[in-house]
């Protein structure tokens, strides 16, 4: 009869409602992803790509929205990890620098002159060091999924070329993250001042600070050549990789299938982000350096001997922070780099 047919149809509809999207019913309408900078910075590109791939591969079951400017923590980028582990933020693509106040081991990448090149950086993130750091993130309530990259951080200023540690003497330098940065710049004779990215550009514009350190993609996209940062030294002293992380508060609600999709999307987005971070900054492609020189900026490339003077001047900082980070981890890193 018609009634039986209707009953069966209703029953089938109910079964579908209960079975398939029962998982999705627990999901939020939107997952908030924290970053410090938006696209077209490589960092923002990585986060946007992650959100895009997840939306596609989950047929919209998981919707992620990127909130740049560390706005989910009112611009206080060094509090991002705390908010993430508590579940106040769902997800983040976060810098090891900004997460180092909560996990001292993240300072590894900020040990002055530990990593001479991209191969060294890859040997850390792609080897036992990366695994250990991911364990630490996980122990702290966040699921780490993949690496992306902000980049090698080069020093810039408005006064004169920096070729020797003495050239940093008395310069007011904006830094962020942990006291390791203060120690490094103090050892070099500069006056470091801690401030967030939100405050950095105004401080550089008004001349409240003389210089800063950041990857050259940040320098060009933020147009630092237009605010008087006319001297760049490519000293490669530290780099900050980025970590794709999901708060365990959110991660635990995902089905095994969706966990796998979100993880693989992060790995794929990481590759896109790393390619963007290195574009124009490799041995066979120096286009970004030429772009910067085209703005009338003086770019100083240190000789091996010149670089060694900076290594020597920061050696005590390296040793003191090796104790804080953990001698075992630093040794593991040095070994991975030596065997890269
Ligand atoms: O604040 C910075 O310098 C930046 C954007 O590079 C980081 O978030 C570490």
Rounded distance from Cα 36 to ligand 1 centre (Å): 7
Question: Could you tell me the CATH number of the domain that includes residue 295?
Answer: 3.40.190.170
> What's the whole-number average pLDDT of the chain?
94
Decide if 197 is inside a domain: yes
112, pLDDT greater than 50? yes
The closest alpha carbon to 267, from 236, 243, 235, belongs to: 243
- Which residue would you say has higher pLDDT here, 21 or 206? 206
| Mean pLDDT score, 67-85 | 98
Q: Residues 25-42: what's their mean pLDDT?
A: 95
Does residue 227 contact residue 220 with C-beta atoms inside 8 Å? no
Is position 266 within any domain? Answer: yes
Question: Within a domain: residue 19?
Answer: no
Model pLDDT for residues 82-109, shown as the tens digit of each residue: 999 999 999 999 999 999 999 999 999 9
> Domain span at residue 242?
27-338
Q: Quick check: 216 and 154 in contact, CB under 8 A?
A: yes
Assess whether pLDDT exceeds 60 at residue 2.
Answer: no
- Inform me whether the pLDDT recorded for 7 exceeds 80: no
Span from the CA of 223 to the centroid of ligand 1 (angstroms): 15
**pLDDT value for 23:** 53
Query: Tell me, what DSSP letter sits at residue 76?
Result: -
> Which ligand 1 atom lies nearest to the CA of residue 36?
8
Q: Per the structure block, which two tokens stand in for 8?
A: 């069966």
- Residue 102 placed within a domain: yes
Pair of tokens at residue 192: 């470091």
**Do the domain assignments include residue 312?**
yes
Q: What is the pLDDT of residues 124-169, one digit of tens each?
A: 999 999 999 999 999 999 999 999 999 999 999 999 999 999 999 9
Using one digit for the tens of pLDDT, what is the confidence trace for 168-212?
999 999 999 899 999 999 999 999 999 999 999 999 999 999 999
- Listed in sequence order, the residues at least 6 apart from 304 whose beta carbon sits closer than 8 Å to its beta carbon are none
pLDDT range class, residue 25, cuts 50, 70, 90: low
Q: What is the ipTM score, two decimals?
A: 0.99
Rounded to the nearest whole angstrom, what is the distance from the C-alpha of residue 281 to the centroid of ligand 1? 18
User: How far is C-alpha 242 from the chain's CA centre?
Assistant: 3
* Contacts within 8 Å (CB) and 24+ apart, 318-321: 318/111, 318/112, 318/113, 318/114, 320/183, 321/107, 321/111, 321/180, 321/183
Residues 6+ apart with CB under 8 A from 302: 163, 233, 234, 235, 310
Distance 176 CA to ligand 1 centre (A): 7
pLDDT for position 16: 47
pLDDT in tens, 261-289: 999 999 999 999 999 999 999 999 999 99
276 is a domain residue? yes
What is the model's pLDDT at position 177?
A: 87
**Pocket residues: Cβ below 6 A from ligand 1:** 36-37, 77, 95, 97-98, 150, 176, 197, 214, 218, 240
Once rounded to an integer, what is the mean pLDDT over residues 217-228?
98
**Mutational pocket test of ligand 1: of 42, 69, 98, the residue with most ligand atoms within 8 Å of the beta carbon:** 98
Tell me the pTM: 0.93
pLDDT in tens, 294-321: 999 999 999 999 999 999 999 999 999 9
Residue among 35, 37, 180 to mutate when testing ligand 1 (max atoms within 8 A of CB): 37
pLDDT band at 22 (very low <50, low <70, confident <90, very high): very low
- The answer to whether 321 and 100 are in contact (CB under 8 A) is no
Atom of ligand 1 nearest to the CA of 174: 3
Token pair 């237009």 is found at 226
Domains identified in the chain, total number: 1
Is 97 a member of any domain? yes
Distance, in Å, from the CA atom of 234 to the CA atom of 152, rounded to the nearest integer, reads: 9
Among 168, 176, 216, CA closest to 199:
176
């Amino acid at each position: 009869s018609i009634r039986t047919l209707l009953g069966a149809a209703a029953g089938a509809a109910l079964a579908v409602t209960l079975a398939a999207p029962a998982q999705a019913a627990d999901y939020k309408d939107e997952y908030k992803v924290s970053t410090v900078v938006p696209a077209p910075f490589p960092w923002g590109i990585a986060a946007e790509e992650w959100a895009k791939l997840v939306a596609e591969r989950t047929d919209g079951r998981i919707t992620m929205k990127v909130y740049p400017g560390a706005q989910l923590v009112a611009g206080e980028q060094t509090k991002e990890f705390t908010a993430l582990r508590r579940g106040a933020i769902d997800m983040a693509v976060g810098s090891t620098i900004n997460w180092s106040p909560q996990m001292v081991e993240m300072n590894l990448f900020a040990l002055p002159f530990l990593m001479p090149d991209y191969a060294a950086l890859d040997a850390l993130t792609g080897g036992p060091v990366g695994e250990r750091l991911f364990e630490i993130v996980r122990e702290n309530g966040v699921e780490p999924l993949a690496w992306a990259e902000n980049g090698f951080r080069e020093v810039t200023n408005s006064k004169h070329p920096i070729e020797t540690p003495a050239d940093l003497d008395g310069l007011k330098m904006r830094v962020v993250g942990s006291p390791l940065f203060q120690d490094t710049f103090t050892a070099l004779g500069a006056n470091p001042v801690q401030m967030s990215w939100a405050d950095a550009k105004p401080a550089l514009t008004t001349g409240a600070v003389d210089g800063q350190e950041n990857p050259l993609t940040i320098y060009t996209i933020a147009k630092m050549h237009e605010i008087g940062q006319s001297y760049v030294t490519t000293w490669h002293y530290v780099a900050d990789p980025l970590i794709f992380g999901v708060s365990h508060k959110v991660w635990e609600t995902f089905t095994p299938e969706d966990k796998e999709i979100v993880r693989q999307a992060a790995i794929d987005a990481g590759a896109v982000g790393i390619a963007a971070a290195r574009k124009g900054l490799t041995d066979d492609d120096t286009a970004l350096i030429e772009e910067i020189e085209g703005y009338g900026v003086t770019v100083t490339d240190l000789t091996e001997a010149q670089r060694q003077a900076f290594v020597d001047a920061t050696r005590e900082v390296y040793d003191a922070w090796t104790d804080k980070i953990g001698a075992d981890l630093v040794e593991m890193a040095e070994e991975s780099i030596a065997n890269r």
